[in-house]
Structure 1
Amino acid sequence: MMTKQGRYYDETPYTLEQKLSENIWWLLELSQRLDIDILTEMENFLSDKEKQLNVRTRK
């Protein structure tokens, strides 16, 4: 997207889906290397956001 808008130069023709998947892969890889429980951290993050935004979840 940024390449199409001329804000980012990249010779490799990525699709958005591939780039998003690569970013997720790197986040998972880094969390493993740093011994971070990414699932727990994501649950905590989402719970905090729900409270900040006053979102009610179904249980």
Structure 2
Amino acid sequence: MGKGYIRGITTGAIIGAAVSMLFAPQLGRDTRKRIKKFDDMVMDMAEGMYYGIKKMSK
């Protein structure tokens, strides 16, 4: 699997999750909490992918 494939899968997952949060019927503060939690998760995942790709390229 190439880097482009992994990037595409990751991008699609992020966009799909963001859209589903926007259409989920919840209170505003609950949605903001979910978005914050999701943001933290995405940042952790992106950091892990960055270091993994960096390690693979050496």
Interval containing the TM-score (normalised by the shorter chain): 0.3 to 0.5
Q: Which has the larger radius of gyration?
A: 1
Q: TM-score, normalised by structure 1?
A: 0.38
Q: TM-score, normalised by structure 2?
A: 0.38
> RCO (CA 8 Å, sep 6+): is it higher in 1 or 2?
2
